[in-house]
């Protein structure tokens, strides 16, 4: 699809997500009524949107390697904010309790949002990563709900094991402890399933297309329809993470941020949001 002059067509604008549509519609109107000199000032943004839509329009049936290739190109342009956010998330996570909470509530959602914005608009700033605090909290609640069932199963095992220690009746409670071990295995399996099928939820939230519960439903639906592609994405990510750990883990400074661009690129393609 060729670039349609300075202004993208209304039909192309309708392909953007909810948050971007209102902003771009305003620019479109200004583009129609302003003189040529004024229109030139907003040409850069409109051209970027049109070019991005064109690129992703052709990414609907691409290989996993092409997704990674696109993620690498975007990482090279946005490596500074992505790496800094990645290090902040990892570093704060090592602070007991308070640091863990801050990392999970703020830095992880902000890092995910940064990757999403890079995939969607080609660039991101620190302000944009933390810009929509309400959406960041929604993503935190989303992960809280996703992890609730596995957490309950493991929690029941911990309580059961502690009870066995208190009464000092390991032999008598061996059946209970054995059942507790089954709960741990079940919790792990449930966590893996929810992780696989719930990966796209944050992107549905950031795009404004779903609330928390709607994001869970739509993520499961999207993954069910494209399970083979998602599985290949997971396996390729694991492979790159393993390779990234070889040079003293330094490769993770590239693989980690790249992965957080790779997955929203896949979301944008599979969800046909562009």
pLDDT tens for each residue of 127-152: 999 989 999 999 999 999 998 877 77
Looking at the chain, the whole-number percentage of residues with pLDDT higher than 90 is: 51
30 located within any domain: yes
Cβ-based burial of 237 (10 A; exposed 0-12, middle 13-18, buried ≥19):
middle
pLDDT at 178: 58
Which letter, b or e, does each residue of 103-130 get, where b requires 16 or more Cβ atoms within 10 Å of its Cβ? bbbbbbbbbbbbbbbbbbebebeeebbb
Q: Which domain range does residue 13 map to?
A: 1-57
pTM strictly above 0.75: no
User: Does a structural domain hold residue 19?
Assistant: yes
Residue 272 phi/psi, 5-degree rounding, is 50, 45
**Residue 27: inside a domain:** yes
Number of domains in the chain: 1
131, 110 in Cβ contact below 8 A? no
Residue 240, in any domain of the structure = no
Identify whether the C-beta of residue 93 lies closer than 8 Å to the C-beta of residue 103. yes
pLDDT values of the chain reduced to their tens digit, one per residue, 274 residues = 333 333 445 555 554 555 555 666 666 666 566 555 445 445 545 544 554 554 445 454 568 998 999 999 999 999 999 999 999 999 999 998 899 999 999 999 999 999 999 998 888 999 999 989 999 999 999 999 998 877 776 666 666 666 555 445 444 445 555 556 777 787 788 889 999 999 999 999 999 999 999 999 999 999 999 999 999 999 999 999 999 998 788 899 999 999 999 999 999 989 865 4
Domain assignment of residue 226, yes or no: no
Whether 237 is in a domain gets the answer no
Note whether residue 266 is domain-resident: no
Per-residue pLDDT of 147-176, as tens digits, reads 887 777 666 666 666 655 544 544 444 555
Residue 76, domain member (yes or no): no
């Amino acid at each position: 699809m060729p670039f349609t002059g300075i202004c993208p067509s209304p039909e192309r604008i309708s392909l953007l997500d909810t948050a971007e549509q209102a902003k771009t519609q305003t620019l479109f109107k200004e583009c129609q009524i302003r003189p040529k000199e004024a229109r030139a000032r907003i040409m850069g943004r409109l051209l970027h949107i049109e070019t991005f839509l064109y690129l992703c329009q052709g990414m609907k049936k691409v290989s996993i390697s092409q997704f990674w290739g696109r993620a690498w190109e975007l990482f090279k342009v946005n490596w500074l904010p992505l790496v800094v956010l990645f290090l902040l998330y990892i570093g704060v996570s090592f602070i007991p309790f308070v640091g863990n909470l801050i990392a999970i509530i703020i830095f992880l959602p902000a890092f995910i949002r940064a990757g999403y914005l890079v995939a969607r608009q080609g660039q991101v700033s620190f302000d944009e990563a933390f810009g929509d605090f309400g959406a960041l909290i929604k993503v935190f609640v989303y992960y809280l709900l996703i992890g609730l069932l596995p957490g309950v199963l493991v929690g029941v095992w911990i309580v059961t094991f502690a009870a066995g220690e208190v009464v000092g009746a390991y032999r008598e409670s061996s059946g209970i402890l054995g059942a507790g071990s089954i709960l741990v295995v079940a919790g792990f399996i449930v966590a893996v399933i929810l992780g696989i099928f719930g990966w796209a939820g944050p992107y549905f939230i950031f795009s404004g297309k779903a609330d928390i519960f709607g994001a869970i439903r739509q993520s499961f639906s999207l993954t069910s329809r494209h399970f083979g592609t998602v599985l290949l994405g997971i396996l390729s990510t694991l492979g790159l993470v393993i390779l990234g750990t070889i040079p003293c883990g330094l490769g993770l400074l590239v693989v980690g941020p790249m992965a957080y661009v790779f997955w929203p690129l896949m979301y944008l393609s599979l969800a046909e949001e562009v």
